[in-house]
Amino acid sequence: MDNPQEKLRTGELKLYALEKYMEADEAVKIRREYIEEATGADLSSIGKYTIPITKVVSRNIENMIGCVQIPLGTAGPLVVNGEYANGSFWIPLATTEGALVASINRGCSAISKAGGADVRIFKDAMTRSPVFAAKNISHAADSVRWIEENFSAIKEAAEKTTSHGKLVGISTYTAGTSVYVRMSYKTGDAMGMNMATIASEAAAKVIEEATGLLLIASSGNMCCDKKPAAINAVEGRGKTVSAGVFLSDELIRTVLKTEAELLIEVNMRKNLVGSARAGALGFNAHAANVVAALFLACGQDAAHVVEGSNCITTAEAADGGVYVSVTLPSLQVGTVGGGTSVACQNECLRMLDCAGDGKAMKFAEIAVSAVLAGELSLLSALAAGQLGKAHKELGRG
């Protein structure tokens, strides 16, 4: 194309349309140069990347101008004793927060020396919740009754839209004339948000036709997607998964440099009482830190760190030591779709043998074990009064 920059300036060519007229890399380069001119900023570092972007620009991003590189570290090895993940794993973590990887690494060491984290998945269901308008309260009540009595018809409509998704449950809620239908799906190895949305839209049409309700939005925020919400902490969303480990008094002293009773008290006063006093939905030390770093490394939807922070950490006295566990009621992960196919992120998934079909449950078990490692290390650092010292030694302000 002749002089695309001039055509962009005159508006003859739209910035978002460059890929229609040239190869993806050239389009990204021209768009970046245009933004450099418009802003006066040097974007040369953003223009250096290695990932193949032809599919990226069609599936993962619009108006691409380059890549933002995030430092990638690894913690481990972490021994996991799950139903899907069994073995020793090196955890990829993308972050700019100094001391985070070092902290998680220490937790991995403690868990592995203790024989590994025991992990189980208790629930697996992605949700979407259309909201409808009823004519009045009686109409709302009658409609809810129909929905509850006709699960099979709703399920049939929803599952016609997907070869992988399965509608496994429906819950109804009302507020005046608003009717919310929270639909729960098995979504295979995909995180499943798009799958659940498309299926719920088809199901909503059946509900509209049968009840006379008016569909207002395919998502009415009872799902609840990418927002802090008690319903996800209580009912779960995505994977509900727990990991626990018994640590002996000797191991706590030698690896974590503290005492069992101090670790228990810090957890009780900080994670449980402190969080309750603050009205927090998460009762943990820094679960979101680990979830975010792992999500960025492995191509997950970073906004779902919100739900991933719904973590409860417990520390209980046991004979000869302490049993520490974490429960993530709303961990949303996938090993196919979304950002999982981007080259760098796919390589991180391959580090864990979690790329592709049949791996989502394994990835969830590894993720919760990494969260356990992070919780153990930070709680121990606080118990031993080491947190400030660690940041100072590693040059962090």
245 in Cβ contact with 108 (< 8 Å): no
**Structure token digits, residue 127:** 């949700």
User: How confident is the model at residue 368, as a pLDDT?
Assistant: 98
- Residue 363: helix, strand or coil by DSSP? helix
Which class is 130-217 in CATH? alpha beta
Q: 365 or 3, which is more confident?
A: 365
Q: Is the pTM here over 0.75, yes or no?
A: yes
Catalytic site residue from 97, 159, 259, 261: 97
Answer yes or no: is pLDDT of 128 > 80.
yes
Residue the block writes with tokens 């919780």: 375
| pLDDT per position as a tens digit, 91-123 | 999 999 999 999 999 999 999 999 999 999 999
Please confirm, yes or no, whether 375 is among the known catalytic residues: no
Q: Is 72-123+239-393 a CATH 3.90.770.10 domain?
A: yes
| pLDDT per position as a tens digit, 256-301 | 999 999 999 999 999 999 999 999 999 999 999 999 999 999 999 9
Name which of 165, 131, 170, 110 is nearest 334 in CA terms.
165
Name which of 74, 76, 80, 56 is nearest 66 in CA terms.
56
| pLDDT per position as a tens digit, 11-49 | 999 999 999 999 999 999 999 999 999 999 999 999 999
Burial class (CB in 10 A: 0-12, 13-18, 19+), 74: middle
* SS3 readout for 7-29: HHHHCCCCHHHHHHCCCHHHHHH
Please confirm, yes or no, whether 265 is among the known catalytic residues: no
Answer yes or no: is pLDDT of 395 > 60.
no
Please confirm, yes or no, whether 301 is among the known catalytic residues: yes
| pLDDT per position as a tens digit, 47-97 | 999 999 999 999 999 999 999 999 999 999 999 999 999 999 999 999 999
Q: Is 15-69 a CATH 1.10.1760 domain?
A: no
Name which of 121, 116, 107 is nearest 87 in CA terms.
116
Domain extents for the chain?
A: 15-69, 72-123+239-393, 130-217
Catalytic site residue from 25, 156, 265, 301: 301
